[in-house]
Structure 1
Amino acid sequence: MTTHSITAETRTDMQNSSLRTLRQNGRIPAVVYGLDTESISLHVDAKEMLKVARTGRTEMFNLKLAGSKDLSVIIKDFQKKNGQLSHVDFLQISANKPLRVRIPIDYQGVAKGSLLGGVVQHLEQDIEVEGLPADLPTSIEVDISHLDMGDKLGANEVKLPKGITLISSGEELLLASVTAPRSVIEGDAEAEATEEAAAPAQTEEKE
């Protein structure tokens, strides 16, 4: 995994007017929560932050802070306003300590059942896994091409990268399914109702 770096500066003025000024000057307010340090309020360059954010929220990178050693962090959370990053929370991590995170799912392929008119449903957008920071992927590919009409795909069926363990509840967590179109379901229901209504009449005729 490539380790990116981003330079940060500490901030002491927490007034709303100061935060607006930072954003107007191309800076993003942020906080880093540490394993061996108290939380630090800082700000980072918006353009640098966007480059890191595009690589995936689970990717580890170096946070360079003046007067302090580099911190290994991931993006814990972020907020947006009017489509732009407005605040970022970083989490300091240890390269040798497993980390539990939710990783986005990248669905691959065209479900077999969809070619027959089935409706593909993506029931989850991410799954929780655990692994060393260097082993965590930015997304997990899930192949759905083998799903036929009526099939369901559980989290336990996903092939995870080496060193990554599934935390989400295996068979209980459904990721995707292929269902029949509503028109087909309604048509089958009407047919069953017609058959049930006709059954008593046929019995009376035999008597």
Structure 2
Amino acid sequence: MTTHSITAEKRTDTQNSSLRSLREKGRIPAVVYGFDTESISIHVDAKEMMQVARTGRTELFKLKVDGAKDLSVIIKDFQKKNGQWSHVDFLQISANKPLRVRIPIDYQGVAEGSKSGGVVQHLEQDLEVEGLPADLPASIEVDISHLQMGDKLGANEVKLPKGVTLISSGEELLLASVTAPRAVVEGNAETESTEEGAASAVSEEKE
């Protein structure tokens, strides 16, 4: 896991007017909390935050807070307003303690079944996994190029990085599938209905 640095400043005024003023100045109000520190109210530069946040929410950040030691954190949660980040929750972590997080799925390849008209469905956007912070990737690559028409891909078929274990139910959780187009399915259903009707008519004639 790559480590990036963000410089933060403490804040003591939590009034709405103060928070609004910070945002107007290009700052994002935030809170950092964790296993060996009390919650700290801070604010960070919006542009700097956006640059490092693009790497993924599971990325490890080095938070440099004025007057305090550097903290190793991840983005636990964030809020948006009018499309812009308005608040961030940082979670302090320990490099020696396993961390349970949800990591985005990066689907790779073009399913074989889609080349013959199949419809690819991405059923999940992330996976819950556990591992040491240094072993957790920013995203999990899932290859779907081998999927044929009618195939389904379960979470238990995904190859995870060394040191990372799956928490999501592997056998039951479906990640992707390739289904026949609705028109084909409906056409087959109509054909079967017609054939059944014809067979029933022949049977009645024989009687």
* Counterpart Cα distance in 2 of 1:201 and 1:3: 73
* Counterpart Cα distance in 2 of 1:89 and 1:204: 72
Q: 1:68 — aligned with what? A: 68
Deviation at 1:2, TM superposition (A): 2.4
Q: Deviations over 1:142-182 (max 9, x none)?
A: 00000001100000000111111000000100000000000
* Counterpart Cα distance in 1 of 2:123 and 2:14: 40
Bigger mean CA offset, 63-72 vs 92-101: 63-72
Q: 2:117 — aligned with what? A: 117
Q: 2:3 — aligned with what? A: 3
Deviation at 1:206, TM superposition (A): 3.0
Q: 1:103 — aligned with what? A: 103
Q: 2:43 — aligned with what? A: 43
Unpaired runs of 5+ residues, structure 1, are none
Q: In structure 2, what residue type is equivalent to 1:183?
A: A
Deviation at 1:10, TM superposition (A): 1.0
Unpaired runs of 5+ residues, structure 2, are none
Q: In structure 2, what residue type is equivalent to 1:88?
A: V
Q: 2:156 — aligned with what? A: 156
Deviation at 1:205, TM superposition (A): 3.0
Q: Deviations over 1:27-85 (max 9, x none)?
A: 10000111111211110111111111011110111111111111100000111111111
Q: In structure 2, what residue type is equivalent to 1:193?
A: S
Q: Residue 204 in 1 paired to residue 192 in 2?
A: no
* Counterpart Cα distance in 2 of 1:107 and 1:185: 26
* Counterpart Cα distance in 2 of 1:140 and 1:201: 56
Count how many residue pairs are aligned between Structure 1 and Structure 2: 207
Q: 1:133 — aligned with what? A: 133
* Counterpart Cα distance in 1 of 2:204 and 2:31: 79
* Normalised TM-score (structure 1): 0.98
Q: In structure 2, what residue type is equivalent to 1:31?
A: V
Q: Residue 81 in 1 paired to residue 81 in 2?
A: yes
Identity across matched positions, percent: 85
Deviation at 1:199, TM superposition (A): 1.3
Q: Return structure 1 stretches of 4+ with deviation > 6 angstroms.
A: none
Q: 2:94 — aligned with what? A: 94
* Counterpart Cα distance in 2 of 1:67 and 1:204: 91
Q: Residue 13 in 1 paired to residue 13 in 2?
A: yes
Q: In structure 1, what residue type is equivalent to 2:174?
A: L
* Counterpart Cα distance in 2 of 1:131 and 1:80: 28
* Counterpart Cα distance in 2 of 1:147 and 1:134: 32
